[in-house]
Amino acid sequence: MFTVIGERINTTLKKVQAAVIARDADYIREDVKKQQAGGATYIDVNAGARIGHEEADMKWLLKVVQEGTDLPLCLDSPDPAILEMAYSMVNKTPMVNSISLEKDRFDAMMPFLDGKECKIIALCMDDSGMPKSVADIVDRATKLVEELEKIGMKRDDIFIDPLIQPMSVDSNNGNVAMEAVQTIMTDLAGVHTTGGLSNISYGLPQRKIINRNFLGLMMAHGFDSAIMDPLDTDIMAVLNTCEMLKGNDSFCMNYLKGVRAGNIKA
């Protein structure tokens, strides 16, 4: 089944940052409840926007978010010390966002991950920068999986992020992402793929329409997770319809439930 990583609890968002500064627990709890009702599988928690306040903000957010949902969390920080603290506070096995092949990040994250029970998002980034081709993405994905397996991580716990890049920059970026996902899901059988879906539409008008159509195309190539907004009912309708068409919805029950609830409609 498709894994939806709810992206809304992130202090880069003005309303979330304002709620964190004001310690407005009701706002955060209500948003998290809505994300769960909308179909989130994990709730991403990112408190990194306020420099010098990440630890205190993350501690507060983790407490409040877990009061609003029984979903597992995605712990989102580049700082292993913050992740270590966050890992000690969660009630359920978390997802961790993220590791890459960039030396500083890789060397810091591997000791943190060693022996941990968690899912991990692995970015196809190294010290040379963003990948420039399908071959770059697949090569980096392969190296990440090999290294993570060495410390005992199972492929089912690894979510490869191919680093979706905007169509406004290069008209081949959609094809690169789709081909990379299909190759990863075939050559590295057992892993998952995820990423920031809306990156594809950056710089273009009517972004939501682009994101919806791209999700369907990516799912057809094996994409089985995304960092996205589960309160966007239109894109969730696309997701649930595609899951049904891919045979991942027994007797079309989830699709029919969505239609009856008015969430899937023409």
pLDDT digits (tens, 9 = 90+) for 187-201: 999 999 999 999 999
Taking CB atoms within 8 Å and a gap of at least 24, the contacts of 61-64 are 61/9, 61/20, 61/28, 62/86, 62/89, 62/90, 63/89, 64/25, 64/28, 64/29
pLDDT digits (tens, 9 = 90+) for 248-259: 999 999 999 999
Q: Is the dihedral of CA 94, 100, 106, 110 positive or negative?
A: positive
> HSE of 167 in the Cβ direction (CA atoms, 13 Å)?
13
The domain 93-226 is placed in CATH, from the list 3.40.50.300, 3.30.450.20, 3.30.1490.20, 3.20.20.20, at 3.20.20.20
Amino acid in position 168:
S
Amino acid in position 186:
T
Measured CA to CA, the distance from residue 111 to residue 149 in angstroms comes to 13
Measured CA to CA, the distance from residue 266 to residue 234 in angstroms comes to 10
Give the global pTM: 0.97
**Residues of the chain with confidence (pLDDT) below 50:** none
pLDDT recorded at residue 249: 96
Measured CA to CA, the distance from residue 77 to residue 50 in angstroms comes to 12
Give the mean pLDDT of the chain.
97
Domain ranges (residues) in the chain: 93-226
pLDDT recorded at residue 266: 85
**Under a CB-based contact definition with an 8 Å cutoff, are residues 241 and 263 in contact?**
no
| Alpha-carbon torsion, ordered 102, 108, 109, 114, to 10 deg | 130
**Under a CB-based contact definition with an 8 Å cutoff, are residues 101 and 109 in contact?**
no
| Alpha-carbon torsion, ordered 150, 153, 157, 158, to 10 deg | -20
pLDDT recorded at residue 256: 97
Task: Give the helix, strand, coil percentages of the chain, each rounded to 5.
Answer: 50, 15, 35
